[in-house]
Amino acid sequence: MNGLDTRPIRPPLPIFETLGHWCVGLAVVAAVVAIAGIVGWFTVPRARHSPVIVRLWIGCAIVGVIAIVFAILLLA
């Protein structure tokens, strides 16, 4: 029955786990920066009209999503 195993074979390289953990860390950092932007949005009245905060949120969202996708692919 060994010939029926059709799972993809991934070489046992520790670099995949290392890169996956780095991606998880990057996603956490992006989430923390986004939360800091949200706190700044509500606590600093002048920041509510700043496009920098919106760009910060968009950038963190893009970086976070890409990091999570790579983490899933590398750690699966």
What confidence tens digit (pLDDT) does each residue in 26-73 have? 999 999 998 888 888 888 888 777 888 888 888 899 999 999 999 988
Angle among Cα 65, 76, 59 to the nearest 5 degrees reads 10
Residue 44's pLDDT is 84
Are 37 and 57 in contact, with CB atoms under 8 Å apart? yes
Q: 30: how many CB neighbours lie within 10 A of its CB? A: 20
Q: Single out the residue of 74, 64, 75, 54 nearest to residue 26, CA to CA.
A: 64
How close are the terminal C-alpha atoms of the chain, in Å?
24
pTM score over 0.95: no
